Structure 1
Amino acid sequence: MDMPSDSMKKALTIVSALFLLDACSTAETAPRGEAAYAAIPPAPALASDYRISPDDVLRVQVYHEPGLSLEDAQVTAAGMVRMPLIGDVPVAGLSAGEASDVIAGRLGERYLVSPQVTIFVKKAVGRRITVDGEVREPGLFPIDGRLGLLQAIAMAKGPTRLASLKQIVVVRQADGMRKAAMFDLSAIRRGEAPDPEILPGDTIIVGSSRAKAILGGTLLALPAIGAGFVALEGGR
């Protein structure tokens, strides 16, 4: 009988890893390497249309010029990144590709011939959500990768003891309008309702009374609509 090929061996390893997970694997039997990433995929990469924000941390690489490259360049509150030779360069609001072109253009004006610049966003502080209302530690929280409502509330140390778990409002800016939906956290915890995905820029408010205080009277008639979003009056 022919020996299995390398690709077949990898496939068998992945299938075995998934079987182990299905059978309540322990730390010793948990899959590793390629099999681990087959079972639990890595977080998606930062979208190419992401816009650089103040306090983001960038890696700026100038090809063949290590002295001009930066490993941890933090964008200032004014939206600038400080580069050797050319000083402060405005990058806030630009994509990584656009910022690379701006820096390359500045370097090419006086110092380098056809410089090649690559920017990688190491820490995307601009990908933030707001969690408010009846939670233990309300505030702004940076997010990386995908995030569910349960995780988002956990980032604020969870709801308070008297929180209204059936009245979790998620507010999202979409298509030029502010939209909102109300979710039942208790049902999500019990697995009776899906855990909605939270996106950068979303505001989560625990408790409808707090939501009304923050958003005004726009939520007075808002139903518990699960995964759907309803446009708020005056949201444009």
Structure 2
Amino acid sequence: MTIRQIYAAMTGCALLSACASVEQAPRGDAAYALIPPALAIGADYRLSPDDVLRIQVYHEPGLSLEDAQVSAAGMVRMPLIGDVPVAGLSSGDAADLIAARLGQRYLVSPQVTIFVKKAVGRRITVDGEVREPGLFPLDGRLTLSQAVTLAKGPTRLASLSQVIVVRQIDGQRQAAMFDLAAIRRGQAADPEILPGDTIIVGLSRAKAILGGSLLAAPALAAGFIALDGKN
């Protein structure tokens, strides 16, 4: 294994981007069909805006950066070559891109490694009818019921049968609705939550965040529904 692969293997998994569909999650073990299990430790983490990176250019300390922050636009600014788009790339792919740009004009066969010092993308959002909504760090494995507990639990007004998990799957944000009350009773599987997931407790709040057309009641029974309302 190369040094670059080792650094890439140390940095985690998954990000979020634009929403497409909603499905009522089935009960029991089949609930994992829509929300896949977490990737194994060592899968490539995808760089996110505000991540802090250590970028090392072998034998070139003047080109190396100790605390390079990914900008809101997904760029990291490097000496000589300027802004490099790294958001959405693994650390290994980002290192290869920087090496390629340095090699075009300035260095012969540059060797670049990237270590993620601060992984902002390893967070989840819990919103809706919970006592303390917000962003929470994700360290290790976490289930849906545990994620709601991080937000101090649901409010008395929460509809526990309407808990939405929003996740990026194959480049699209998709959503599934779970019954937290059934999960607590042991009548439904407790799906695993991944970095970048958004959990929304209560259908009315989910409609406000994601759009009423996306979460219209007929759509929940119909399966995946695109934002334009077509199957």
- TM-score, L = length of structure 2: 0.65
Aligned partner of 1:99 in structure 2 is: 94
Secondary structure of residue in 2 paired with 1:60? strand
Aligned partner of 1:27 in structure 2 is: none
Q: In the TM superposition, what is the alpha-carbon distance from 1:195 to its structure 2 partner?
A: 1.3
Q: Distance in 2 between matches of 1:232 and 1:109?
A: 46
Verify: 1:220 aligned to 2:217, yes or no.
yes
* Change beyond 3 A, Cα 1:172–1:219: farther
* Change beyond 3 A, Cα 1:85–1:171: closer
Aligned partner of 1:165 in structure 2 is: 160
Q: In the TM superposition, what is the alpha-carbon distance from 1:104 to its structure 2 partner?
A: 1.4
* Change beyond 3 A, Cα 1:213–1:115: closer
Aligned partner of 1:78 in structure 2 is: 73
Aligned partner of 1:232 in structure 2 is: 225
After TM superposition, the structure 1 stretch with the greater mean CA deviation from structure 2, 68-77 or 170-179, is 170-179
* Change beyond 3 A, Cα 1:129–1:230: farther
Q: Determine what percentage of the aligned residue pairs are the same residue.
A: 76
Aligned partner of 1:198 in structure 2 is: 193
Unpaired stretches in structure 2, ≥5 consecutive residues: 1-38
Structural mapping, 1:60-139, within 5 Å: 60-139=55-134
* Change beyond 3 A, Cα 1:84–1:233: closer
Q: Does the 8 Å CA contact 1:212/1:220 hold for their aligned counterparts?
A: no
Pairwise CA RMSD of aligned residues?
Answer: 3.2
Unpaired stretches in structure 1, ≥5 consecutive residues: 1-42, 224-228
Q: In the TM superposition, what is the alpha-carbon distance from 1:216 to its structure 2 partner?
A: 0.8
Deviations 1:44-98 (A, max 9, x none): 43532x4322111222122233443333321111222233444433322333222
Q: Distance in 2 between matches of 1:209 and 1:191?
A: 25
Give every structure 1 segment of 4 or more consecutive aligned residues whose post-TM-superposition deviation is greater than 6 Å: none
Deviations 1:153-199 (A, max 9, x none): 23333322332223212234445766443323233334443210123
Aligned partner of 2:142 in structure 1 is: 147
Aligned partner of 2:35 in structure 1 is: none
Say how many residue pairs are matched.
Answer: 188
Q: Distance in 2 between matches of 1:158 and 1:128?
A: 18
Q: Distance in 2 between matches of 1:99 and 1:179?
A: 26
* Change beyond 3 A, Cα 1:193–1:212: same
Aligned partner of 1:52 in structure 2 is: 47
* Change beyond 3 A, Cα 1:202–1:230: farther
Aligned partner of 1:17 in structure 2 is: none
Residue identity matched to 2:83: D
Q: In the TM superposition, what is the alpha-carbon distance from 1:230 to its structure 2 partner?
A: 3.2
Secondary structure of residue in 1 paired with 2:200? strand
